[in-house]
Amino acid sequence: MLELLEAIFLGVVQGLTEFLPVSSSGHLLLSQYFLGMSQERFGLTFDAAIHTGTVLAVVAFFWRDLLRMALAFLDSLRGPNFEDRDQRMAYLILVASLPAGIVGLLFQNFFEREARSPWLVAFNLVLIGALFIVGESAGRKNRNSDKLSFREAVGIGLAQTAALFPGVSRSGATITLGLFLGLRRDEAARFSFLMSVPITAAAALLSLVDVAVEGIDPHGALLFLAGSVSSGVVGYLAIRFLLDYLAGHSLRVFAYYRFALAAVVVLLLLLGVGGF
C-alpha cells in the first residue's frame, strides 16, 4: 500500500512539474533522494513510464490541433506549402523535436548515470530561474508560434535538449527561449507543449518496450498504472492552468519558486539529509 501511494505521489509530481516550468526530472530526483524511495521501483524506467500519462494529457488537451497538423502533414507529402498554417506548424514541431531525440539517443547512458545529482538540480534551478527574469525583460512578447522560422524552431529544440539535465525544465527552457524570440507567453507555452509530444511519446514507447521485454509482475503493473493515471490527470489540469495563467502573468513567480527550492535543497544537502 505504501508503494502504491508513493507511485501516485510521484505521478502527481510528474503531472504538475512536467508542464509547469519547474523541472519534472529535478523534482522526481529530489523526491527520490530525500524521501528514500526505492530506486528499483521508482528509477528511470518508472520516470519514463509516467511520461505516458503526460503524453496522453497533451494529446487530450490539444487533440484538435494535433489532428489538423497530422492531416496537413499527410497533405504536404504531395508538396509542402508552408503558407498553410497547419502544415507549417507540423514541420516546425518536427524540426524542433529532432535535437533532443538525437542527443538523447547518443548520450542516454550519460544522462542516466552521470547527470543525476541533487547539487546539479539546485544549480540548474537557479540558472534557469534567472533566465526567466531576463527573458521577461528582454522579450517583445508579440509573435505567434506559426511565425517562427525553421532556424528558430531548431533553436527551441536545442533548448529542449538542455532539459535532459535535471533541474532545467523542458517547458521552462523552451518557453524562455520563445520569449527571447519574441513569442507571446501563452504562444511559447503552447508550442512547448506541442513539441513535447514526439520526444516524450518516443521515450515512453521505448520504456514500454523495455518493460514488455523484461516482464513486469502484477504489483509493478499496478504501480505503473497508478503513476500514469495520476500524472495524466494532473498534467491535463496543469496545462490548462499554465496557458490561462501566462495569458496575463509573467514567469517571475516560477523563478522565485525555483530560487526557494534550490535554497532548501542546498541546506538539506549541507545537513547530510537524504541519499540514494
Q: 208-259, pLDDT tens digit by residue?
A: 777 677 767 777 777 778 888 899 999 999 999 999 999 989 999 999 999 9
Q: Is the pLDDT of residue 92 over 80?
A: yes
Q: Is the pLDDT of residue 161 over 70?
A: yes
> Average pLDDT of the chain?
87
Which residues, at least 6 apart from 114, have a Cβ–Cβ distance to it below 8 Å? none
Q: With cut-offs at 50, 70 and 90, classify the pLDDT of residue 174.
A: very high
Q: 106-115, pLDDT tens digit by residue?
A: 877 777 677 7
Q: Looking at residue 40, what is its pLDDT?
A: 55
Which of 61, 201, 30, 213 lies closest to 10 in space, CA to CA?
A: 30
Q: 18-72, pLDDT tens digit by residue?
A: 899 999 888 878 887 887 765 555 555 566 667 788 899 999 999 999 999 999 9
Q: Phi, psi (5° rounding) for residue 37?
A: -75, 150
Q: Looking at residue 141, what is its pLDDT?
A: 87
Three cell numbers written together for 131: 533566465
Phi-psi bin for 167: left (phi > 0), alpha (psi -120 to 50), beta? left
- Please state the rounded mean pLDDT for residues 76-104: 90
Q: Looking at residue 48, what is its pLDDT?
A: 60
Stronger pLDDT, 260 or 25, i.e. the higher one? 260
Residue found under cell 543525476: 116
Which residues, at least 6 apart from 5, have a Cβ–Cβ distance to it below 8 Å? none
Evaluated on CA atoms 239, 244, 246, 249, the torsion sign reads negative
How distant is the alpha carbon of residue 236 from its chain centre?
A: 13
Lowest mean pLDDT among 98-107, 122-131, 213-222: 213-222
Stronger pLDDT, 60 or 139, i.e. the higher one? 60
Q: Looking at residue 43, what is its pLDDT?
A: 54
Q: Looking at residue 127, what is its pLDDT?
A: 96
CB 204 within 8 A of CB 52: yes
CA distance 45 to 52: 11
Q: Looking at residue 33, what is its pLDDT?
A: 85
H runs (alpha helix) in the chain: 2-19, 24-35, 44-49, 51-61, 63-76, 85-106, 108-113, 118-138, 150-162, 170-180, 185-214, 218-246, 252-270
Which of 46, 2, 5 lies closest to 24 in space, CA to CA?
A: 46
Q: Looking at residue 39, what is its pLDDT?
A: 52
CA distance 139 to 75: 35
- Please state the rounded mean pLDDT for residues 68-96: 93
183: β partners: 143
Three cell numbers written together for 17: 512539474
Stronger pLDDT, 24 or 169, i.e. the higher one? 169
